A and B are shown apart, each in its own frame.
Chain A
Amino acid sequence: TQLLEQSPQFLSIQEGENLTVYCNSSSVFSSLQWYRQEPGEGPVLLVTVVTGGEVKKLKRLTFQFGDARKDSSLHITAAQPGDTGLYLCAGVGTYKYIFGTGTRLKVLA
């Protein structure tokens, strides 16, 4: 069974700080996605990474796919209160996505 573990589960930081969220598995994924979810809404796709070692940037967010395509990280630079939310990673298993447990981020002004 493919599992994705995210860490930390909860993170509360001050505005302007940097943070990194990790997504780890013992399985190889064909591709991996990061989502952000707001209360009362469904997850919204932020990025898809496919190639081992791939790095993608989305403004202050930097996403990296591990060389072996088993893990990924999300780094936020100078966090803003608007970054508050639930961050989810999801890896493509056998033609379906396996979701991580999520990291709930709160950025305090």
Chain B
Amino acid sequence: EAGVTQFPSHSVIEKGQTVTLRCDPISGHDNLYWYRRVMGKEIKFLLHFVKESKQDESGMPNNRFLAERTGGTYSTLKVQPAELEDSGVYFCASSQDFTAYPYEQYSYEQYFGPGTRLTVT
């Protein structure tokens, strides 16, 4: 079974340019997540798709970031225009449904892609 794939693996662009990152989740995974790690910081949640719908986009930094998941399969994350502080590693992850436990607890098993390293100069 193929894992989560991301393209490109690296991207170097100039400030003001546009970049589009792509994520292909594991087949059959309705949940797709985007995360970002900027240098020296922790991995931070950006947004969560359930199929083609945005379930939670509370982590998106600003309106220069646009995520789409047309047809509920692959997803793209576009940064336009890119700024220096957008540099970092962008991870995509996918999962099946949540596992529910007693007392309203839950977890889900995320499978991460290798990430796209974005450098804005």
Given contacts A42-B114, A44-B112, A31 and B107 within 8 Å (CB-CB)? yes
A102 to B112, CA, bound (A): 16
Q: Give, as a whole number of angstroms, the nearest-CB distance from A99 to chain B.
A: 4
**Size band of the interface chain B makes with A:** 20 to 34
Chain B 64-121 residues near chain A, CB threshold 8 A: 91, 93, 98, 101, 104-115
Given contacts A96-B48, A99-B42, A50 and B105 within 8 Å (CB-CB)? yes
A42 to B91, CA, bound (A): 7
Q: Is the CB of A100 within 8 A of B42?
A: yes
Number of interface residues of A (CB under 8 A): 25
Q: Is the CB of A48 within 8 A of B42?
A: no
Q: Is the CB of B115 within 8 A of A42?
A: yes
A105 to B33, CA, bound (A): 27
A99 to B56, CA, bound (A): 17
Q: Give, as a whole number of angstroms, the nearest-CB distance from B37 to chain A.
A: 8
Q: Is the CB of A30 within 8 A of B105?
A: yes
Residues of A within 8 A of B33 (CB): 96
- Flag whether A97 is at the interface (Cβ < 8 A): yes
Q: Give, as a whole number of angstroms, the nearest-CB distance from B116 to chain A.
A: 11
A99 to B43, CA, bound (A): 6
Q: Give, as a whole number of angstroms, the nearest-CB distance from B59 to chain A.
A: 8
Chain B 28-56 residues near chain A, CB threshold 8 A: 33, 35, 41-45, 48, 55-56
A30 to B115, CA, bound (A): 26
Given contacts A97-B45, A101-B41, A102-B42, A45 and B107 within 8 Å (CB-CB)? no
Residues of A within 8 A of B44 (CB): 99
Q: Give, as a whole number of angstroms, the nearest-CB distance from A5 to chain B.
A: 10
Residues of A within 8 A of B113 (CB): 42
Q: Can you give 9 contacting A-B residue pairs, CB < 8 Å? A: A41-B114, A43-B43, A45-B109, A92-B106, A92-B108, A95-B98, A96-B33, A96-B56, A100-B42
